[in-house]
Structure 1
Amino acid sequence: MNSVLIVEDEAGLARAMQINLHAHGYQATTVGTGTDALKAAASRPVDIVVLDLGLPDMDGVDVIRGLRGWSSVPIIVLSARHGSQDKVEALDAGADDYVTKPFGLDELLARLRAASRRAVSHHEPPTVAAAGFTVDLAAKRVVRRGTDVRLTPTEWSILEVLARHAGRLVTQQQLLTQVWGQAYAKETQYLRVYMAQLRRKLEDDPSSPRHLHTEAGMGYRFDP
């Protein structure tokens, strides 16, 4: 059974899609904000994302970019925006398909079937092992030399994003948006504080980190 994450802030429409997709053999869950969408996709892998662009906390295009930083999950955009520029922006950001509202159930089901056929395995490995510690993404825990490391929810959220991007730069804006939300996209001091805390808990020498690197003026990188 394919799992579908529906990202739609209109509660009635979201519920109707969920019921109809269940009736046609899909396991569908709903969230109403971009922040919740990124958290849901990170905590439990899904097979397809159905995404409304007009969300209350952030633009749907930013959600697409956030997902594409670490996942190849098929993304079907649902939007009342009919302009070609909106479609181009969403597709350039990484969306696989674009459906304008209003739409029929048969059309949505056809798009879902097409997305399922095109999909490749996109589930990340459940653990990321570094030299001194292991990040278990499924269990949401970090083990260092056989002992669980106690992380705050925010510390875990930052480490999880970095671990899912292991070896790649994660921009400051991407981290802030995924962990705190779009309203905090410029609050870079938050990251400096929490990265220092993570280094104290995970690095042998926090002043000369081996795994949690700062790319000056750009973002951070986790090197296993």
Structure 2
Amino acid sequence: MSKSKILVVEDEKTIAEAVIAYLEKNEYEVIWADNGNLAVDYFRQNKPDMVLLDLMLPGYSGEEICKIIRSESRIPIIMMTAKSSEDHIVDGLNLGADDYITKPFSPRELVARVQSLFRRTLKNDSFKKNIIEFNANDLKIDLDAVEVFKKDERVSLTQSEYKLLTTMAKTPNRTYTRDELIQYAFNSDFDGFDRTIDSHIKNLRSKIETDSTNPIYIVTVRGVGYKFNGERR
């Protein structure tokens, strides 16, 4: 089983070294960024499972980093800071942080919070019945939030593209004719020809497929229509 990956964003070397030592002792893989700009780069390059985030940093501030991460991902964030007033804590949580620990803190306490947050996140995920994931989280559809993610990055779909995707993804390996897609995805709310479906499919592939010229999700069934492939998690 692969280790959970944690991005530690902390510009004070002694604090970072203590945190990293305790995390690695508890079998976590750790990436360290000592400034805000590097933190954003590492977040996007390494796709960590959690971020431990100092607020007062060179480059992007912790608050700015939190906003960037939340615009792109739902991974857990724990803020680590000397800003200990109630207003600061509330502001941090409102930005999207999941937990908040004030300096000075015990590395043991921080690790306990990390473990607790991972358990809570896993438990909550198990109850998200309206989230469907395919191919080891390569593609995720949040039916409640009406959002689609490709490798944890939000994909902007039109309403028509979203309707087509969810119609097919809910019944993988079923082949739909163009007329059936119009019927099931749009009902009577469709103004166009059946071949318009082809244009929507082409645009959808460009957004959710790794290689739209060789699609693995929305597959053409020649002479019939389309079907959705994908190993559901």
Whether TM exceeds 0.5 here: the answer is yes
CA deviation map 1:19-60 (0-9, x unaligned):
221112111111011221111111112111100001111221
Note the alpha carbon deviations across 1:146-200, whole angstroms, 9 max, x for none: xxxxxxxxxxxxxxxxx933217xxxxxxxxxxxxxxxxxxxxxxxxxxxxxxxx
Match of 1:66 among 54, 68, 87: 68
Q: Tell me the distance in 1 between the aligned counterparts of 2:41 and 2:100.
A: 23
CA contact (8 A) 2:63 2:95 kept: yes
Q: Cα RMSD over matched residues?
A: 2.9
Gaps of 5+ in 2: 126-132, 140-149, 158-201, 209-233
Query: 1:112-131, aligned counterparts within 5 Å?
Result: 112-120=114-122, 125=138
- What is the CA-CA distance between 1:72 and the residue it aligns to? 0.8
Which residue does the alignment assign to 2:154?
165
Report 1 or 2 for greater relative contact order, CA contacts < 8 Å, sequence distance ≥ 6.
Answer: 1
2:12 pairs with 1:10:
yes
**Shift in CA distance, 92/80, structure 1 to aligned 2, threshold 3 Å:** same
Distance in 2 between residues matched to 1:59 and 1:43, nearest whole Å: 19
Q: Highest Rg: 1 or 2?
A: 2
Judged with a 3 Å threshold, the aligned counterparts in structure 2 of structure 1 residues 167 and 56 are, in CA distance, closer, same or farther, namely: same
Q: What percentage of aligned pairs have identical amino acids? A: 30
Q: Distance in 1 between matches of 2:80 and 2:111?
A: 13
Check if 1:38 corresponds to 2:40.
yes
Task: Give the 3-state SS of the residue equivalent to 2:108 in structure 1.
Answer: helix
- Unaligned runs of 5+ residues in structure 1 are 127-136, 139-162, 169-209, 212-221
Cα drift, residue 124 of structure 1:
6.1
**What is aligned with 1:51?**
53
CA distance in 2, matches of 1:164, 1:25: 27
Q: How do residues 148-159 of structure 1 correspond to structure 2 at under 5 angstroms? A: none
- Contact in 1 for aligned 2:22/2:108 (Cα 8 Å): no
Q: Which moved more, 1:62-71 or 1:34-43?
A: 34-43
Task: Tell me, yes or no, if the aligned pair for 1:48 and 1:115 is still in contact at 8 Å.
Answer: no
Partners in 2 of 1:124 and 1:85 — Cα distance? 36
Quickly say closer, same or farther: Cα 1:93–1:44, change in 2 above 3 A: same
Amino acid at match of 1:2: S
C-alpha distance in structure 2 between counterparts of 1:97 and 1:32, whole Å = 20
TM-score, normalization: structure 1?
0.56
Q: Is the 8 A contact 1:7 1:49 kept in 2?
A: yes
Mapping for residues 93-104 of structure 1, pairs under 5 Å:
93-104=95-106
